[in-house]
């Protein structure tokens, strides 16, 4: 996750986000989120990971999840350590 500068403001994006959705998302719908997103399935739930430029883009993605009728379980903004852990988890 990007850090805050001395004025207590976040540095400009993009930011890496992870969305955990209840159930499995068909590959066709995964493409709807754009090429910057990848999906994996863990324990019957879908994990979408990708780049989000700003709060407006984040809200747009949340609308897409809602429009699909998927239950959103969690949203996480990933920092560098979490990105590395996510990368290693996907390689298994």
Is the pLDDT confidence value at 86 over 80? no
15-87, CATH topology level? Alpha-Beta Plaits (3.30.70)
Taking Cα atoms as reference points, which of 13, 28, 18, 3 lies closest to residue 89? 18
Task: Give the chain's mean pLDDT.
Answer: 83
* Numbers of helices and strands, H then E, in the chain: 3, 4
Q: Tell me the average pLDDT across 6-24.
A: 81
Confidence of residue 1 (pLDDT cuts 50, 70, 90): very low
Q: Where are the alpha helices (DSSP H) in 34-79?
A: 55-68
């Amino acid at each position: 996750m990007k850090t805050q500068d001395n004025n207590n403001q976040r540095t400009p994006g993009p930011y890496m986000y992870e969305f955990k959705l209840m159930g499995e998302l068909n590959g066709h719908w995964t493409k709807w989120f754009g090429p910057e997103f990848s999906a994996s399935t863990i324990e019957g739930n879908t994990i979408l990971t990708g780049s989000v430029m700003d709060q407006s883009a984040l809200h747009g993605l949340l609308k897409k999840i809602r429009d699909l009728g998927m239950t959103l379980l969690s949203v996480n903004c990933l920092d560098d350590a979490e990105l590395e852990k996510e990368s290693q988890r996907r390689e298994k």
